[in-house]
Amino acid sequence: LTQDRKIEAIPSILEVDLFHVLVRHVLFYSEKCRSLRPTPLSSSIDDLYLLHLVTMVHIVQILLTCETEKTKADQEQIPEGHRHCAFVNISHINVYLTMSLSLPNRPNTTSCPWQLRQMLRAAILPFFRCAALFFHFLLGVPLPSGLQGNGPEQFDLLCHYLSLPTNLTTLFDTYRETVDPLLRRWLDDINILRSLNEVGPWYPRKLNKMVHLPQDYSSLINKASRFRCPHSDGEDNRTPTLCLVCGTILCSQCYSCQAELDGEDVGACIAHSAICGAGIGIFLRVRECQTLLLCGKNKGCFYPPPYLDEYGETDQLLRRGNPLRLCLERYHKLQRLWHLHAIPEEIAHAQEANQSFTTNDWQHL
């Protein structure tokens, strides 16, 4: 965070995972403080200062990449007494960032202080939740009961639990002499220009979603019929397989599309899942209407597809030929398995129930 210019290839503040920074330094300095100054007060004060610094950096990340739009409806929702209130310093910080980085690709931030305040409170909540859970398990301090819901009081409860002011921008006033040089150094980094001109990262981070699927399954079949194997001489691929994470269509069970992975020849799906999902793959075999789950090179199973006929039944291998429509409930269930990192567990359960899954040559798919 101090941006040592002598170190080459140092990432900009937009590329830093601040929760990782918080956990790493709290654990490191806590252990050091226990050996040098074994008093809980000194350790907790150091943790608090570090949390303040990381919070201010995250505020800068959010203000650099946020997208807000000023509308008449939003103006009408602003409570009386807050339209020209103390939250104006959020606008000052945002204007400072805008003037420091005159970029055409920077998101629109021409909003009133109230909008910026509401946006900032909503955008920083995920970081506060992670920090609260971390300190809860580290120090054993009970969490407030109100955090179990999604009510508007969550922000105030988290600020109280983390010993932070509810008006977060006062941190910049409290540590002005220390933070102002750091802020200027962060904004002078040319890597910020590169990050903002690229796709991201943007804050707050959005939850990853699987690809959008058409309502009518025949649309997928038509798309697969137009796909040609890039390594064959114009022949139709018999098993076109759609990656549900990125949308790439692959040649499954095709020897010409095999790749080498860790010294072994593996199929296109296994090779793709190693790059796209760190070894976890979720695919839809279009001509069989089967969902394929993969874990590593040798584990996998078939999972019910998210397409159902008018009777609410799946048609794996398309034997009945009934028209199929997308079932959003089933697709959301599959997406939830992916979000919860439960694909390996689901494969293990499926292999216990069906022993044939353990003998399949998954590495050739």
Say how many residues make up the chain. Answer: 365
**Between these two residues, 94 and 158, which has the higher pLDDT value?**
158
Q: Which amino acid is at 51?
A: L
* Positive or negative: CA dihedral 270, 273, 279, 282: negative
Is residue 217's pLDDT more than 60?
yes
By C-alpha distance, which of 306, 267, 313, 266 is closest to 284? 306
Written as six digits, the tokens of 125 are 């909540």
Q: How confident is the model at residue 216 (pLDDT cuts 50, 70, 90)?
A: very high
Q: How confident is the model at residue 233 (pLDDT cuts 50, 70, 90)?
A: low
Q: Which amino acid is at 147?
A: L
| Mean pLDDT estimate for the chain | 77
Written as six digits, the tokens of 48 are 């608090």
Q: Where are the domains of the chain?
A: 13-197, 217-364
Cα 27 → chain centroid: 24
Weakest-pLDDT range from 23-32, 108-117, 298-307, 321-330: 108-117
Q: Quote the percentage of the chain above a pLDDT of 70.
A: 74
Q: Are 117 and 91 in contact (CB under 8 A)?
A: no
pLDDT score recorded for residue 59: 87
**Between these two residues, 31 and 163, which has the higher pLDDT value?**
163
Tens digits of per-residue pLDDT, 56-73? 888 888 887 776 554 444
Q: How confident is the model at residue 260 (pLDDT cuts 50, 70, 90)?
A: confident
Q: How confident is the model at residue 166 (pLDDT cuts 50, 70, 90)?
A: confident
Is residue 363's pLDDT more than 60?
yes
Q: How confident is the model at residue 345 (pLDDT cuts 50, 70, 90)?
A: very high
pLDDT score recorded for residue 360: 82
Q: How confident is the model at residue 319 (pLDDT cuts 50, 70, 90)?
A: confident
**Between these two residues, 284 and 358, which has the higher pLDDT value?**
284
pLDDT score recorded for residue 121: 85
Those residues whose C-beta lies under 8 Å from the C-beta of residue 14, and which sit 6 or more positions away, are 61, 64, 65, 191, 192, 195, 196, 201
Q: What is the pTM of this model?
A: 0.67
**Between these two residues, 35 and 248, which has the higher pLDDT value?**
248
pLDDT score recorded for residue 229: 76
Three-class SS of residue 351?
helix
Tell me the average pLDDT across 214-221: 92
Q: How far apart are CA 293 and CA 345, in angstroms?
A: 11
Tens digits of per-residue pLDDT, 117-155? 778 888 889 899 989 888 888 888 888 887 776 767 888
Cα distances from 323 to residues 118, 241, 308, in angstroms, run: 46, 20, 8
Tens digits of per-residue pLDDT, 81-109? 444 443 444 555 555 555 444 444 445 54
